[in-house]
Chain A
């Protein structure tokens, strides 16, 4: 058979089981789009390449499988960089295929030429530049293998336009290598760790995104229940352990619950699963869990001892390890430790007040949670609303919170919600955003209108960059600067301009009815909620401080 380079790309994606790709065409990737025209793969046309990148994030973060997006050379490639960096920091399997100027023009500062290879090098798991059409046949499946194996991550493939058009003839497609991360384990290591857990008096499970990546929520639950080990989660691990369970002790760290950070100080053993000891989670590293021995299980060996020296570590898939570990774990009710924890929980309860005021952020999020199914996918942007969601939304299921954790990208929420809705046809997806963040990828409302997906966008509108304003209040002597917007757009008019049903709770006497309508009716909608503008995310650990030094502890 004869294939063009572009046909090889599209055919390879089909062979990987890809049903939907997203992107924007341009001069240097038009041959790929021509091949796509003749393919059954659905294309979702975004309105900005960063939007395309985050739509792919939405798909990949929901399914755990690699998602694909396209961008042209030059500005197409530079626009998509933020989504690539975000995938690197949150370990998201993302395949980005960029067009490049023709091989003969490379290095000549040609129109829309940029050194994509050089730009993406520090923000990918690996990146390829295609010099020869023969490489293409192997590189695409290899990119999937890289993105989805070990610790997941983004792979960028830069393909010059002449190679997309070149024709070669071949008969056999390369066979897929089996994708397996299973390594032989030493059972004595497992027994040693089990012994350590069985003997400990105040153990805690410290979980992160690795639980999602290894699909091991059920095993985590079994381990926690069998030995009565309380669970704390990072932002990336929320939903991996049911938040209403009595053994759940909340999110730790900079905006962790008050009791969570105090409980951590008393632990004698920290079983760390699929976590990377990020500064927002652990605060000042050498004062984190001062009395605890640390067990660290992670698939990425470079995370072991990177920030915090562990006493014992295993490199490998968390699910696989738990499967072998659980039989060696004794049943234990740990009544002393659990009652001590309940005492700390009662002494330092959640910061937020109980109220029926819909414009009080924590209550708004609570009300939303009561109006949707427990497995509803929530996406957020970045800022105060993100932390309020993390602190108060009762996540029960894995992969129900999609949020930009490591990079903290404002503008993530809307395109990620589109991607999530694309892979979950019947489910409602709720994007909880802020009036600062939503503007950063507002153009994707057009993509949402094209697709008419069940996405509800709730804008928690405090007319400012709230988390910046809060930090200026607490750490910069209330020198408020560049954090309050001079003018505030009419988000409902914007929504209607894109052809999306839009509601404003401002002055509305039946706000709950409006919320119900927006969350139940078919198709997309926007709800503007003018929240109280002086509310802070509390507690907060000052940058560089230990987690116990929280502001907002009464």
Chain B
């Protein structure tokens, strides 16, 4: 598979998104898509990151695990990647 999805559980507050996006840009990792929404009582968010599956993926995961506000990192095995492809449909409604 040339792309994989990384699932994150994070503390839900302002600034978390910039920590994650900043990590990808400063380490020159490609980030192809982001989906994010709050879960449970709103103190946490679920984030899905669509990334290219290359040899650096292990390093990306380790760096994500180091972020203070990241509670859990996992690789999503069975996913529907078309979710990321269909985002433009929201606009057409």
Q: Measured between alpha carbons, how far is A306 from B68 in the docked complex, in Å? A: 20
Interface residues of B in 3-60 (CB under 8 A from A): 14-15, 18-19, 22, 26, 58-59
A507 within 8 A of B: no
Task: State whether A122 touches B62 (Cβ < 8 A).
Answer: no
Extra pairs beyond A121-B19, A129-B15, A306-B59 (13, CB < 8 Å): A117-B15, A118-B18, A121-B22, A122-B26, A129-B14, A131-B14, A146-B68, A300-B66, A301-B65, A302-B63, A302-B65, A304-B62, A305-B59
Interface residue total, chain A, C-beta cutoff 8 A? 15
Q: Measured between alpha carbons, how far is A304 from B63 in the docked complex, in Å? A: 11
Q: Which residues of A contact B66 (CB under 8 A)?
A: 300, 302
Q: Measured between alpha carbons, how far is A60 from B58 in the docked complex, in Å? A: 32
5 residue pairs, one from A and one from B, having the closest CB atoms: A302-B62, A126-B68, A122-B26, A121-B22, A122-B22
Q: Measured between alpha carbons, how far is A305 from B57 in the docked complex, in Å? A: 12
Q: Mark A278-308, 1 if CB is under 8 A from B, else 0.
A: 0000000000000000000000111011100
Q: Which residues of A contact B58 (CB under 8 A)?
A: 305
Q: Which residues of A contact B65 (CB under 8 A)?
A: 301-302
Q: Measured between alpha carbons, how far is A68 from B59 in the docked complex, in Å? A: 31
Determine the residue in chain A with the shortest Cβ distance to B64. A302
A–B pairs, 5, beta carbons within 8 Å: A126-B68, A129-B15, A302-B65, A302-B66, A304-B62
Task: State whether A302 touches B18 (Cβ < 8 A).
Answer: no
Determine the residue in chain A with the shortest Cβ distance to B13. A131
Q: Measured between alpha carbons, how far is A334 from B65 in the docked complex, in Å? A: 42
Task: State whether B59 touches A302 (Cβ < 8 A).
Answer: yes
Q: Which residues of A contact B59 (CB under 8 A)?
A: 302, 305-306
Task: State whether B68 touches A121 (Cβ < 8 A).
Answer: no
Q: Measured between alpha carbons, how far is A122 from B24 in the docked complex, in Å? A: 10
Task: State whether B62 touches A301 (Cβ < 8 A).
Answer: yes
Q: Which residues of B contact A118 (CB under 8 A)?
A: 18
Determine the residue in chain A with the shortest Cβ distance to B67. A126
Interface residue total, chain B, C-beta cutoff 8 A? 13
Q: Which residues of B contact A126 (CB under 8 A)?
A: 68
Q: Measured between alpha carbons, how far is A117 from B16 in the docked complex, in Å? A: 11
Task: State whether A121 touches B18 (Cβ < 8 A).
Answer: yes
Determine the residue in chain A with the shortest Cβ distance to B56. A306
Q: Measured between alpha carbons, how far is A418 from B13 in the docked complex, in Å? A: 39
Kindly provide the distance from the CB of A511 to the nearest chain B CB, expressed in whole angstroms.
48
Q: Which residues of B contact A300 (CB under 8 A)?
A: 66
Q: Measured between alpha carbons, how far is A422 from B3 in the docked complex, in Å? A: 54
Interface residues of B in 59-93 (CB under 8 A from A): 59, 62-63, 65-66, 68
Q: Which residues of A contact B18 (CB under 8 A)?
A: 117-118, 121
Interface residues of A in 174-200 (CB under 8 A from B): none
Kindly provide the distance from the CB of B25 to the nearest chain A CB, expressed in whole angstroms.
8
Choose among B19, B22, B63 the residue with the greatest number of A CB atoms under 10 Å from its CB. B19
Kindly provide the distance from the CB of A56 to the nearest chain B CB, expressed in whole angstroms.
21
Q: Mark A303-316, 1 if CB is under 8 A from B, else 0.
A: 01110000000000
Q: Which residues of B contact A125 (CB under 8 A)?
A: 68
Determine the residue in chain A with the shortest Cβ distance to B26. A122
Kindly provide the distance from the CB of B14 to the nearest chain A CB, expressed in whole angstroms.
8
Kindly provide the distance from the CB of B50 to the nearest chain A CB, expressed in whole angstroms.
22
Q: Which residues of A contact B19 (CB under 8 A)?
A: 121
Determine the residue in chain B with the shortest Cβ distance to A155. B68
Determine the residue in chain B with the shortest Cβ distance to A301. B62
Determine the residue in chain B with the shortest Cβ distance to A303. B62
Q: Mark A114-126, 1 if CB is under 8 A from B, else 0.
A: 0001100110011
Choose among A117, A118, A300, A302 the residue with the greatest number of B CB atoms under 10 Å from its CB. A302
Q: Which residues of B contact A302 (CB under 8 A)?
A: 59, 62-63, 65-66
Q: Which residues of A contact B15 (CB under 8 A)?
A: 117, 129
Q: Which residues of A contact B63 (CB under 8 A)?
A: 302
Kindly provide the distance from the CB of B48 to the nearest chain A CB, expressed in whole angstroms.
22
Choose among B26, B65, B68 the residue with the greatest number of A CB atoms under 10 Å from its CB. B68
Determine the residue in chain A with the shortest Cβ distance to B69. A126
Q: Measured between alpha carbons, how far is A306 from B22 in the docked complex, in Å? A: 19
Q: Measured between alpha carbons, how far is A121 from B65 in the docked complex, in Å? A: 16
Q: Measured between alpha carbons, how far is A146 from B63 in the docked complex, in Å? A: 16
Q: Measured between alpha carbons, how far is A301 from B14 in the docked complex, in Å? A: 27
Q: Which residues of B contact A301 (CB under 8 A)?
A: 62, 65
Q: Mark A36-61, 1 if CB is under 8 A from B, else 0.
A: 00000000000000000000000000
Q: Measured between alpha carbons, how far is A351 from B5 in the docked complex, in Å? A: 53
Q: Measured between alpha carbons, how far is A117 from B65 in the docked complex, in Å? A: 20
Determine the residue in chain B with the shortest Cβ distance to A300. B66
Kindly provide the distance from the CB of A106 to the nearest chain B CB, expressed in whole angstroms.
11
Q: Which residues of B contact A122 (CB under 8 A)?
A: 22, 26
Q: Measured between alpha carbons, how far is A117 from B62 in the docked complex, in Å? A: 23
Determine the residue in chain B with the shortest Cβ distance to A307. B59
